[in-house]
Chains A and B, each alone.
Chain A
Amino acid sequence: MAEVFNWQINRTMSYPYEEARPKKQAAAVFDTNKCIACQTCTLACKTCWTSGKGQEYMLWNNVETKPWGSYPLAWDVEILSRIEPGSWDAQGTYRGRTIFESAPAGSTAQGWMPSDLDYAYPNKGEDETSAPISPETYTLELPHDIWFFYLPRICNHCTYPGCLQACPRQSIYKRPEDGIVLLDQSMCRGYRACMEACPYKKVFYNHVTRVSEKCVMCYPAVEEGVLPRCMRNCIGKIRTFGFVSTPENVREDNPVDFLVHVRKAGLPLYPQLGLEPNIYYIPPVHVSSTPFLTMLFGPGVSHAVEAYQAAMAGDDPELRAVLLLSLATDLIVHSFEIRGDKVVGFDENRDEIVRVPLREPIMIRPEFDAAVSAYRKNVT
């Protein structure tokens, strides 16, 4: 095992390969506050990549309801129960064991293998709240308010992928140009070590070809500067796609860096597992269980919620501007700049690709439309 630095847990950790970061790391920030679980992302991916025979219950993108939802069943509870409880110290350092540091004898990571049935209920727990809702039990005397939120998930294209390190034949590789993790379909022999090792359970088994498959982050699109399909089709415009830097190389005009490093509003999913995942989440502001959110997103939850609330309240126009850029274009925004009352997004060559008003102009029309002799139901 090599010693590598994982900035999300603020310490070095053991990993089977030496640290080898890509030139750029594809990443995205998902705003859980805006997700409505319409599953358009799920279908956008499904119809593009996994509609073949043998892929029936294969969802590279899924949206689950937390706290009860999970696909495959109990994926997070299963891995958490297999590593010893850990804690975060005041400096944001994880004091516990990652999946690599918890590896049982004869293996390189702690893991588990789902069953066919675990994939058969992708909407299990949908819209179920954290506590029962009924006149008898709905009371503020509960430990926290009743809540749920939606968690859209794709492959995290981790910096230290569990799948990649587990494959005994290097069929999985991380692209040096953009950090996208791919599974070579011509090389895989269906050992499923990757499936067992990925704690997010985002590698799948094709029942017909009998080899494994995973999210490709729509790399043909990304290579052309276009967003992945699950993001392009997002109804709620919750996804900001781009490239994330390491903390020492942060570029403040990079939307993803700004959300993750500058405002620290975007947080990794289960950072304590040690993979340095590259899909980040703005935690839900309405969930009163900080311990639950900390378990999912690490110790920065309270700060992230406050930062997001400040932006929504108009106290942080810059953060609000970056959030407004989210999916304002199908193209990848590499940098942004606020010019007057608009935020401008640029591509990799610093050419303008989108311009969004910081506040949508509002026009109030008379209630009665004389031209058609009718009353308007909506006057704004």
Chain B
Amino acid sequence: MSEARSDVRPDGAVTESGRPRPTRRRVIAGGVLAGAGIAGGTLLATRDRGPAVGTTVRARRVHGTLPVDDPTAGAWGQTGSVLVELERQATTTPMKTRGKGVDHVEVEALHDGTSIAFRLQWDDPERDSDGAGVDVWRDACAVLLARSHADEAQRLMGTADEAASILHWKADWQRDIDEGFQDVEAHFPNAAYGFYPPLVGVDRTARAADYTAADATEWLPALAAGNPLAPATRTSPVEKIRAHGYGTAASLPTQNARGKGEWDDGRWRVVLARPLARTDSDEVHINPGADAGFAVAVWRGDEDDGGSRKSLAKVLLRLEVAP
């Protein structure tokens, strides 16, 4: 792509060799102003072209704040996003055999020298953000980072010899953050319960967080056992994971990933971000100016996706990190 060496300013404008260049929106607007016939042609051509299918994504450097909490920030969508082809997971059980999955994810990446952020976009007709129901499944997506893009085996959750680092965004966590923890009453609006034993003195409907306040987490066994997924208080919708192959995913000790997902009109736009530098010993370190390997995966809640029932990149992709 011609703009492969372009950089992006926080306001969304693309620069090439230091010369300001109009954004895609400005190109279209300019076309409209120039004349209906030309404008129509420009608009159609721009839409039809869309992102190309590819296996290399270049993380461009932004000067200023990295838009880690805003999937619609101007910085996004300005520079060569890549359409990554996915396939239904069929390597390990349970395989994704239900539903057609997600065929493509539009991927782009930015970094500011300190952190790297990915934006994933894919079509999903339903927003599935309920994590509390027995038989309901949330939407989710993930970016897997590997030290080398040449080691194809890394695509499948890393290998026994070398851990992959994963950023996992969860729609239910996003909802917990946006709307407050989705407690029992959120999933069962008509729920009624006499009392919860250790919280007898609570003069309102007990909340999950009350157990922590009452130093009674043994009533929430996973929380008491230190399961990092169990706390009802969340600060980020993105979990940082390391994995040494299928079935080995584990939360990293340092949880410093950020992100934000928004569903609008049948499409998820999700940002997942983390520091470039490793913060845990077996985490993949990303160096500006060097390449790394990466893969993406998407879970569709309406197709009962969960765990290894997912759509994932067909090949390990190359991540070019701009200097």
Residues of A whose CB lies within 8 Å of any CB of B are 47, 51-54, 56, 104-108, 113-116, 118-119, 166, 168-170, 184-193, 195, 205-211, 213
Contact A51-B221, Cβ < 8 Å, known A168-B246, A193-B307, A208-B232: no
Interface size on B, residues (CB 8 A): 45
Complex formed: what's the CA distance from A185 to B230 in Å? Answer: 9
Residues of B whose CB lies within 8 Å of any CB of A are 90, 92-97, 131-135, 172, 183-184, 187-188, 191, 193, 196-197, 206-208, 211, 219-227, 229-230, 232, 246-249, 304, 306-308
Chain B residues whose CB sits within 8 angstroms of the CB of A195 once the complex forms: 134
Q: Which residue of A lies closest to B93 (CB)?
A: A108
Contact B197–A51 (Cβ < 8 Å): yes
Interchain nearest-CB distance for B195 vs A (Å): 9
Interchain nearest-CB distance for B208 vs A (Å): 5
Interchain nearest-CB distance for B137 vs A (Å): 9
Q: Which residue of B lies closest to A206 (CB)?
A: B222
Contact B97–A189 (Cβ < 8 Å): no
Contact A116-B134, Cβ < 8 Å, known A107-B93, A108-B93: yes
Q: Which residue of A lies closest to B246 (CB)?
A: A168
Chain B residues whose CB sits within 8 angstroms of the CB of A108 once the complex forms: 93-94
Interchain nearest-CB distance for A154 vs B (Å): 17
Complex formed: what's the CA distance from A313 to B286 in Å? Answer: 79
Instruction: Kindly identify which residue among B93, B134, B184, B221 contacts A185, using a CB–CB cutoff of 8 Å.
Output: B221
Contact B93–A208 (Cβ < 8 Å): no
Contact A52–B306 (Cβ < 8 Å): no
Interchain nearest-CB distance for B23 vs A (Å): 40
15 further contact pairs, Cβ within 8 A, besides A51-B219, A207-B132: A47-B197, A53-B220, A54-B220, A106-B95, A108-B93, A115-B134, A119-B134, A168-B246, A170-B247, A190-B306, A207-B133, A209-B230, A210-B172, A211-B227, A211-B229
Complex formed: what's the CA distance from A54 to B246 in Å? Answer: 29
Contact A209–B223 (Cβ < 8 Å): yes
Interchain nearest-CB distance for A153 vs B (Å): 18
Interchain nearest-CB distance for B130 vs A (Å): 10
Contact B183–A53 (Cβ < 8 Å): yes
Contact B247–A106 (Cβ < 8 Å): no
Interchain nearest-CB distance for A72 vs B (Å): 9
Q: List 24 A-B contacts (CB under 8 A).
A: A52-B196, A53-B184, A53-B196, A53-B208, A53-B219, A54-B132, A54-B220, A56-B191, A106-B97, A107-B95, A114-B134, A118-B134, A168-B94, A168-B247, A170-B247, A185-B224, A190-B306, A195-B134, A207-B187, A207-B188, A209-B229, A210-B172, A211-B227, A213-B221
Q: Which residue of B lies closest to A52 (CB)?
A: B219
Chain A residues whose CB sits within 8 angstroms of the CB of B229 once the complex forms: 189-190, 209-211
Chain A residues whose CB sits within 8 angstroms of the CB of B96 once the complex forms: 106
Contact B225–A210 (Cβ < 8 Å): no
Which of B132, B196, B208, B227: most chain A Cβ within 10 A?
B227
Chain A residues whose CB sits within 8 angstroms of the CB of B197 once the complex forms: 47, 51
Q: Which residue of B lies closest to A115 (CB)?
A: B135
Contact B183–A208 (Cβ < 8 Å): yes
Contact A188-B227, Cβ < 8 Å, known A53-B196, A168-B94: yes
Contact B227–A187 (Cβ < 8 Å): yes
Contact A53–B222 (Cβ < 8 Å): no
Contact A54–B135 (Cβ < 8 Å): no
Complex formed: what's the CA distance from A190 to B140 in Å? Answer: 14
Instruction: Kindly identify which residue among B97, B304, B308 contacts A105, using a CB–CB cutoff of 8 Å.
Output: B97
Contact B93–A53 (Cβ < 8 Å): no
Contact B93–A106 (Cβ < 8 Å): yes
Contact A52–B97 (Cβ < 8 Å): no
Complex formed: what's the CA distance from A53 to B219 in Å? Answer: 7
Q: Which residue of A lies closest to B186 (CB)?
A: A207
Chain A residues whose CB sits within 8 angstroms of the CB of B220 once the complex forms: 52-54, 206, 208-209
Contact B191–A186 (Cβ < 8 Å): no
Chain B residues whose CB sits within 8 angstroms of the CB of A209 once the complex forms: 220-223, 227, 229-230
Chain A residues whose CB sits within 8 angstroms of the CB of B232 once the complex forms: 208
